[in-house]
Chains A and B, each alone.
Chain A
Amino acid sequence: MTVRTVLRNEWRLLMADQALRIVLGLFAVLLVYALANGVVWLRFQERTVEAVESGNVERTSALQQELDAIANGGQPSSPFADPRSPLVLGGPGGSHTAVLEPGSLTALAVGQSDLLPYYYDVNIYTNESSFQQNGEVENPLNLMVGRFDLAFVVVYLLPLLVLALSFNVLSEEREQGTLALTLSQPVSARSVVTAKLAFRALLVVGMVLAMSLLGILVTGGLDSPGRVLLWCATVVTYSLFWFALAAWVNTLRRSSAWNATVLVGAWLVLVVVLPAAINIAAGVLHPLPSRIEMITAQRDASNDAVNRRSELLARYLEDHPEMAEGVVADEPGLGALAWAATDAVNRRLEQVTSEHDAQRAHQIILVRRYRFLSPALLAQDVLIDAAGTGDARFVHFQSQVRAFAEEWREFFVPAVLADEQMSASVLPNVPRFRLADERPGEAARRAAVPLTVLGGLVLLVGIGAGVGLRRVRGAG
């Protein structure tokens, strides 16, 4: 009896089992639905990005027209919104929206992309508190539940399919008395079980990878082959973990029913209970600092600043000599005074935020260590990171927006301080946000440790199963 015979036999057996056929069919349907959901979400994001970017163009051309009209002797449409003023041209009316393109595999894993902002309006008043106020208008109930995407099917449901297919690979043969017969042939228990599991793994992983590749082809995610590779590697490793676990439990020589109970129990603990328990433990052991302090700090700072504008302006000019060119320090304009107050508030906010962020980053590092307790947490983390919808890419984006806001201020503030008027000629020079997306290697670098640990787990459980299988004799 050869491995090929085992495989052919297995296929016939699997297809003869009506329940398994239904389970496999249902899994295929869920894969298709999950992918469709992801594609719908990706298209929505793409439409939003497109609308936001055309908004940028429209705002600029409207300002251009108005400035041209004023240059030809026209009047501004409102005396409170004269676009020649740098506080208007660089203010909310002339703002530029910085956009993060959807991650290349968003259709496979929605991840955090429905929760974290992927575009920010940047203008001269953009400060740390602006980053807090860009909430989507999404239904909180849907945010709480999360989307039904391929990542969800892989992390939660795939293990159950693996277990349904493999909980009795060896125990059934023993229970039906066919094990002795099989092992009387020149073939070891190890190669029989390996062949059976390899066949099932090909089936399950093949289905998921085929659906993933279909999604990638449909949405054009092939541009970043590194991310695709990372996604596939994670799917394979995570699936193998569950196959190895099933093989190991089978070598414990218990009944099929016992195997099923233990494996479902393992799924429950590793996928449902541990992650939920970790979240509550993390909240108690490493609480994130309160953000309420940030809100009140801003109010205090702005109250204080308004009363001390002249003093603040003097200090500002001392700190920023490059901005002072052309400023008449004896008779500062109202705009310059107001800016000094705004700047003081911004500095105070930055100080509070950076303290808060440092504390928060520290706590998050501690919390993220707990991922290693559950393969489901590890897999989820790497999958969404590979898809470009994990926390890291959004943090990267926000830091670029922060730098862009600084660039924006550097462009407009000198004119504010000098009380200058601007004309249409400056428009082409107004800063534009260019996203420098993460290098492809970044996600792989972050995934290296989790993926190695996951692979190590597979190896460990696999070796345990291999050792156990060597002891299997026909007479059980």
Chain B
Amino acid sequence: MGLRNTLLVARRQIGAMREDRYVVFLLALVVSMGVVSVLGARHHAASEAEQRARYQTLVERQWAEQPERHPHRVIHYGFLVFREEAPLAFFDPGVGAYAGTSLFLEGHRQNAASFSDARHSTGMLRFGRLTPATVLGMLLPLFVVAAGFASVGGERERGTLRLLLAQGATPGQIMGGKVLSVGAVALAAALPIGLVTAAFAAVGGEAPTSATRLLALAAGYAAYLAGWVLLTVWVSSRRSSSRAALAQLVAIWVALCVAAPRLGASLAATLHPIPSRAQFTAQVEEAQRGVGDSHNPDDPFFSALRDEYLARYEVASVEELPINWGGVVSREGEEITSRIQEEHQQALLAAHRRQDGIIAWLGLLSPYLAARDLSMAAAGTGPEAVEAFRAQAEAHRYDIIQRLNDLHVHEIKYENDRAQRIARQEWTRFPVFRPNPPTLGRALTDRPQSLAALGLWIAVPLVGLGLGRKRLPRLGVDGSGL
């Protein structure tokens, strides 16, 4: 009986919305924008991915086809890696456009990834791109508001609310029915976008990882939109007029979806300032000056190291060592400079993470921030993906540079060092860079605040609806809203 009433109310509401040309028009608009955004973003991502893959292959072939070379020459020749976008980047590009896309790996230094998309576009990009994620995260909530702001208030204004109550429907059943119907309309808008996304993701290959990621995305957006549906019905039931409900809901939407992201970023930047690049490089150089110059034979650190090697091999001069002293200096120098650079890099990243932490906590106030965060995590395009690429590229860099230094130590004689070469077959024995993006589980467990925020976002209006249930018959009848 109870469920039947709920469904009856829901059917009534859906019927009313179907007759409202405004809602139908908005539904068509949102769905078509969502589908267009999937197509557009997919087109962009596919051409970019194809190019990066092509050039990565080219760079790998050039590496393997190097002629006979001295290992130190190869250290300076270096290697290029390109950051592959996650398969679902077309759905939510995340921070991808604002991070570098290629990284040059060479000896003696950690380069920063360069060529970010944003720096090569116009200022217009700051308005944001219409991606499937923005359609679902920003525009769909507004559609939910438009579809549901009068769901309860409208019945009251027309006097039909009393009629429903008189026919035996309880306030709980009425609210349940309204939530179901507005939710159904939201689903009708979200489903086509989700299906098109899933279809493209399936075509793109890598089905097993994409499937769980798609499910995570679906679950995240479902929870986020469910919160908007509950909030809309709740506000509609509390306000004496549906016009006031609409004004309040639009104000909430502007605060949560438009103002909150910028407020959050500015707050984070003020609380945890980040050094300028000039300052950062100056700090690294300062620290490196403190420990020793591998290019300077009279440097105290390297003199001590030389004495240690001479004692270990029981010889009087570096010329008599069974290994190449030049290679040893290069290897030790690389270790020191890499360690210092990595320490500074980690300190900088810690500052970035503290900033992201502020925004994560603000997610408890603005579910849009939480949903965006989880969306990036599920799509594999969050800051952690960019950082994983950087860390793995650095590990790869250190590995190949030290292999080259080992070749220098063992395969090149100290005497007449520069004239010697390593055979070309050796280059093909080097490891190939295959980045390993962070797993979905890892990305999600790193975001407890955002997960909690979405839970809270559903719980608060749900509790509000539950508590406000008893007052529903009285509200508005005597003209008092809240």
A residues sitting closer than 8 Å to B (CB atoms) are: 30, 33, 37, 40, 44, 48, 51-52, 55, 77-81, 97, 111-112, 115-116, 119, 132-148, 152, 156-157, 160, 256-257, 260-261, 264, 268, 272-273, 275-284, 287-288, 290-293, 295-296, 299, 303, 360, 364, 367-368, 370-371, 376-377, 380-381, 384, 390-391
Q: Are B41 and A132 in contact (CB under 8 A)?
A: no
Q: Could you say which residues of chain B place their CB within 8 Å of the CB of A48?
A: 276, 278-279
Q: Are B82 and A380 in contact (CB under 8 A)?
A: no
Known contacts A44-B273, A55-B282; A283 and B124 CB within 8 A of each other: no
30 CB < 8 A contacts A-B: A44-B273, A78-B293, A97-B278, A134-B277, A135-B116, A135-B277, A137-B348, A138-B274, A139-B274, A139-B355, A139-B356, A141-B95, A141-B355, A143-B98, A145-B261, A148-B265, A260-B246, A264-B250, A275-B124, A279-B129, A280-B40, A280-B44, A281-B40, A288-B121, A291-B115, A367-B124, A368-B122, A371-B124, A384-B123, A391-B122
Q: Are A148 and B51 in contact (CB under 8 A)?
A: no
Which of A135, A145, A257, A272 has the most chain B CB atoms inside 10 A of its CB?
A145
Q: Are A79 and B266 in contact (CB under 8 A)?
A: no
Q: Does B64 contact A (CB under 8 A)?
A: no
Q: Which secondary structure dominates where chain B touches chain A? A: helix
Q: Are A278 and B246 in contact (CB under 8 A)?
A: no
Known contacts A138-B274, A147-B266, A377-B127; A132 and B114 CB within 8 A of each other: yes
Q: Could you say which residues of chain B place their CB within 8 Å of the CB of A136?
A: 276-277
CB distance from B112 to the nearest CB of A (A): 5
B131 nearest CB neighbor, chain A only: A280
B369 nearest CB neighbor, chain A only: A145
Q: Could you say which residues of chain B place their CB within 8 Å of the CB of A260?
A: 243, 246-247
Once the chains are docked, how many angstroms separate the CA of A260 from the CA of B119?
A: 38
Known contacts A52-B278, A260-B247; A295 and B265 CB within 8 A of each other: no
Known contacts A145-B265, A157-B259, A292-B102; A137 and B124 CB within 8 A of each other: no
> Which residues in window 55-93 of B have CB below 8 A to A?
55, 58-59, 62, 77, 80, 82
Q: Does B97 contact A (CB under 8 A)?
A: yes
Q: Could you say which residues of chain A place their CB within 8 Å of the CB of B128?
A: 275-276, 279
Q: Does B111 contact A (CB under 8 A)?
A: yes
B121 nearest CB neighbor, chain A only: A288
Q: Are A380 and B97 in contact (CB under 8 A)?
A: no
Q: Could you say which residues of chain A place their CB within 8 Å of the CB of B278?
A: 48, 51-52, 55, 97, 119
Once the chains are docked, how many angstroms separate the CA of A346 from the CA of B442?
A: 44
Q: Does B11 contact A (CB under 8 A)?
A: no
B268 nearest CB neighbor, chain A only: A142
Q: Does B226 contact A (CB under 8 A)?
A: no
Q: Does B462 contact A (CB under 8 A)?
A: no
Which of A143, A288, A293 has the most chain B CB atoms inside 10 A of its CB?
A143
Q: Are B355 and A276 in contact (CB under 8 A)?
A: no
Q: Does B438 contact A (CB under 8 A)?
A: no
A257 nearest CB neighbor, chain B only: B243
Q: Could you say which residues of chain B place their CB within 8 Å of the CB of A277?
A: 33, 36, 130
Q: Could you say which residues of chain B place their CB within 8 Å of the CB of A296?
A: 55, 58-59, 80
Q: Does B437 contact A (CB under 8 A)?
A: no
Q: Are B47 and A137 in contact (CB under 8 A)?
A: no
CB distance from A199 to the nearest CB of B (A): 22
Q: Are A273 and B270 in contact (CB under 8 A)?
A: no
B29 nearest CB neighbor, chain A only: A273
> Which residues in window 277-308 of B have CB below 8 A to A?
277-280, 282, 293, 295-297
Q: Are A140 and B282 in contact (CB under 8 A)?
A: no
Once the chains are docked, how many angstroms separate the CA of A142 from the CA of B126?
A: 11
Report the count of interface residues on B (CB-CB < 8 A): 91
Once the chains are docked, how many angstroms separate the CA of A380 from the CA of B128?
A: 13
Q: Does B386 contact A (CB under 8 A)?
A: yes
Once the chains are docked, how many angstroms separate the CA of A455 from the CA of B114?
A: 40
B residues sitting closer than 8 Å to A (CB atoms) are: 22, 33, 36-37, 40-41, 43-44, 47-48, 51-52, 55, 58-59, 62, 77, 80, 82, 94-95, 97-102, 104, 111-116, 118-131, 134, 138-139, 142, 146, 242-243, 246-247, 250, 254, 258-259, 261-266, 268-270, 273-280, 282, 293, 295-297, 348, 351-352, 355-356, 359, 383, 386
Known contacts A78-B295, A290-B51; A133 and B270 CB within 8 A of each other: no
Once the chains are docked, how many angstroms separate the CA of A371 from the CA of B125?
A: 12
Q: Are A115 and B124 in contact (CB under 8 A)?
A: no
Once the chains are docked, how many angstroms separate the CA of A340 from the CA of B264?
A: 52
Once the chains are docked, how many angstroms separate the CA of A126 from the CA of B348?
A: 26
Q: Could you say which residues of chain A place their CB within 8 Å of the CB of B115?
A: 132, 291-292, 295
Q: Are A135 and B114 in contact (CB under 8 A)?
A: yes
Q: Are A278 and B124 in contact (CB under 8 A)?
A: yes
A385 nearest CB neighbor, chain B only: B123
Q: Are A144 and B95 in contact (CB under 8 A)?
A: yes
Q: Which secondary structure dominates where chain A touches chain B? A: helix
Once the chains are docked, how many angstroms separate the CA of A283 from the CA of B123?
A: 14
Q: Could you say which residues of chain A place their CB within 8 Å of the CB of B98?
A: 115, 140-141, 143-144
Once the chains are docked, how many angstroms separate the CA of A284 from the CA of B101?
A: 20
Q: Are B82 and A292 in contact (CB under 8 A)?
A: yes
Q: Could you say which residues of chain B place their CB within 8 Å of the CB of A264?
A: 250
B44 nearest CB neighbor, chain A only: A283
Once the chains are docked, how many angstroms separate the CA of A261 from the CA of B142?
A: 12
Q: Are B123 and A390 in contact (CB under 8 A)?
A: yes
Known: A139-B356, A261-B146, A273-B130. 11 other contacts (CB 8 A): A52-B278, A78-B296, A97-B278, A112-B123, A144-B118, A145-B264, A279-B128, A280-B40, A292-B102, A296-B55, A380-B124
Cβ contact of B44, chosen from A97, A278, A284, A293, cutoff 8 A: A284
Which of A261, A368, A381 has the most chain B CB atoms inside 10 A of its CB?
A261
B382 nearest CB neighbor, chain A only: A141
Once the chains are docked, how many angstroms separate the CA of A360 from the CA of B122?
A: 11
CB distance from B200 to the nearest CB of A (A): 15
Q: Are A141 and B356 in contact (CB under 8 A)?
A: yes
Q: Are B37 and A280 in contact (CB under 8 A)?
A: yes
Q: Could you say which residues of chain B place their CB within 8 Å of the CB of A279?
A: 124-125, 127-130
B248 nearest CB neighbor, chain A only: A19
CB distance from A295 to the nearest CB of B (A): 6
Q: Could you say which residues of chain B place their CB within 8 Å of the CB of A261?
A: 22, 146, 246
Q: Are B258 and A156 in contact (CB under 8 A)?
A: yes
Q: Could you say which residues of chain A place their CB within 8 Å of the CB of B276?
A: 44, 48, 51, 136-137
B265 nearest CB neighbor, chain A only: A145
Q: Could you say which residues of chain B place their CB within 8 Å of the CB of A380?
A: 123-124, 126-127
Q: Are A295 and B383 in contact (CB under 8 A)?
A: no
Which of A256, A273, A287 has the most chain B CB atoms inside 10 A of its CB?
A273
Once the chains are docked, how many angstroms separate the CA of A160 from the CA of B126?
A: 20
Once the chains are docked, how many angstroms separate the CA of A425 from the CA of B332?
A: 38
